[in-house]
Amino acid sequence: MKYLAVGIGGVIGSILRFSISSIHFGLPADLLPFDTLLVNLIGSYILGFLTGLYTRFPNIPSYIQISVGTGLIGSFTTFSTFSTDIVQLILDQNYLQACIYFLVSFIGGLALALVGFLFGSGRQRKKVFSK
């Protein structure tokens, strides 16, 4: 049952990923790989939100959790494309773009995962970083 759940989520996530990469946002394609950046940031927020939600509602069946988390979000986001995008930017000697892309992806992904977790767990009104 779990394999089927991951597979169904994976199909949906892959189709969503392909759909977003097919949209042209009017941004210069040679500046940054915006489609990969967008799906990875969205995926970080959603997975953070779901992780927080699962702590608040622990009775959500595990097959739903893995279908959405591992299947859908796992196939929607793409670390391998992110990595090869960085390599290609470096090979093209676009060092500044590579650094910007890395930092925005890394810091933005962590920040959005945290914000998602806080909203999903219902902790957004509490102090996160208290002294």
Report if residue 42 sits inside a domain.
yes
Domain range for 65 is 34-121
Residue 131 belongs to a domain: no
Q: Give 6-64 pLDDT, tens digit per residue.
A: 999 999 999 999 998 888 777 776 778 888 999 999 999 999 999 999 999 999 999 99
pLDDT, tens digit, for every residue of 48-88?
999 999 999 999 999 999 999 999 999 999 899 999 999 99
Q: How confident is the model at residue 130 (pLDDT cuts 50, 70, 90)?
A: low
Q: Which residues contact 20 (CB under 8 A, 6 or more apart)?
A: 35, 38, 39
15 vs 76: CA distance, rounded Å: 8
- Domain-embedded: residue 62: yes
**φ, ψ for residue 130, nearest 5 deg:** -95, 155
Give the whole-angstrom CA distance, residue 20 versus residue 14: 10
DSSP collapsed to 3 states, 46-110: HHHHHHHHHHHCCCCCHHHHHHHHHHHHHHHCCHHHHHHHHHHHHHCCCHHHHHHHHHHHHHHHH
Give the count of domains, the chain.
1
